[in-house]
Amino acid sequence: MRDIITSTTMVDAYAQLGDLAVARAIFDEMPERNSVTWSVLISAYGKNNGRESLRLFLRMDLEGFRAEEMTYVAVLDACSSAAAVAEGRIIHESVLDRGLSRDLRIGSALVDFYGKCGQLETARLIFSELPIQDVILWTALITSYAHNGHLPEALAIFREMLLAGILPDCVTIVSVLSACSHGGVEGDGWIHVVRMAWDYDLELSLAHYLCVMDLLGRSGKLELLEDLVTSMPFEPDVVAWTTLLSACKEIGDERRAARAARKLREMDSNAMAPYALLSNMHAGVANAED
DNA sequence: TTAGGGTTAG
């Protein structure tokens, strides 16, 4: 018989692999569970099935297990992704009742929750009432404003963070670059953000490159964009080629668009998106010539 | 800090 820690680890491992059915089967067969086991399963459902995550949270409570800090984090994430505003508020009350409102991890999850629900003032209030504000908490607040289309405010909070002496991490940079590309910055201001990542020796991920590609595409710098797609230290994925193809469509660069479309077809011969984009583009060019 | 997800998106 496997012990509780081994089984819990297996539930988590399968959940991380994306095999929720196996994770659930192991969980269901466990002769006994504890708070961590419940927390792991609640986490597992959080992003893609917030409702099930919430049901499990209630069941855990009914079976007499006490939620821990990480359980609150997991279930608040479920509330964010399921847009379960009323449930999230009740969980917030429970956090207050339990005297856990000064916990930085729960605080970040609450800022994220209220931010995703569009309640920015509440998010801001929770942020400022926490005993300390670290880079993760700042990033959660920046993301909240960006998520609701308040891009200048998101960038202002980023500057506020830097003034407070908090260094950005790689997640902050993705969040800020994404805010820039959604219209927060005119011109090439985003280049300073990339330089900052470089200066602070942050490891750039594919997500960073995708943000920069988006920004280059929006400013019509197709040559730089194509260079970046083909020379970056990551294998370009469907998103990367689609970014290039969409940017070419905007400008009407048919040759470059054809190269991107060919790559997309190589990656997925059933994909219809490249055909649709290309044919729209030909139609657009033809209309312009009329 | 004994097994666990505080912040990145279309």
Q: Identify residue A91 by its one-letter amino acid code.
A: I
Higher pLDDT, A181 or A287: A181
pLDDT at A274: 66
- Closest by CA to A36, choosing from A11, A2, A1, A62, is A11
A192: helix, strand or coil: helix
A216, part of any domain: no
pLDDT at A273: 65
pLDDT at A184: 64
Q: Is the minimum distance from the CB of A84 to strand B below 7 Å?
A: no
A34, part of any domain: yes
For the segment A40-49, the average pLDDT, to the nearest whole number, is: 93
- Per the structure, the complete domain to which residue A78 belongs is given by 1-98
**What are the structure tokens assigned to A127, written together?**
């942020």
pLDDT bin (cut points 50, 70, 90) of residue A36 is very high
Query: Strand B: which residues 159-198 of A lie within 7 A (CB)?
Result: 169-172, 174-175, 178, 181-182
A36, part of any domain: yes
A147, part of any domain: no
pLDDT at A289 over 90: no
A37 contacts A5 by C-beta, under 8 angstroms: no
pLDDT at A187: 79
Which nucleotide in the DNA or RNA is closest to residue A78, CA to C1'? B5
Sign of CA dihedral A249, A254, A258, A259: negative
Q: Is the minimum distance from the CB of A135 to strand B below 7 Å?
A: yes
- Protein-contacted bases of chain B (C-beta within 7 A): 3-10
A285, part of any domain: no
Query: Strand B: which residues 24-63 of A lie within 7 A (CB)?
Result: 34-37, 39-40, 43-47, 53
pLDDT at A211 over 60: yes
Distance from the first to the final alpha carbon of chain A: 76
Mean pLDDT over each residue of chain A, to the nearest integer: 92
pLDDT at A176 over 80: yes
pLDDT at A182: 86
A27, part of any domain: yes
Q: How far is CA A36 from each of CA A4, A27, A66, A70, A97, rounded to the nearest angstrom?
A: 10, 12, 10, 9, 21
**What are the structure tokens assigned to A53, written together?**
């995550």
Distance of alpha carbon A51 from the chain centroid: 19
* Total tally of structural domains belonging to chain A: 1
A142, part of any domain: no
pLDDT at A110 over 90: yes
A66, part of any domain: yes
- Which residue in the block uniquely carries the two structure tokens 């668009």? A257
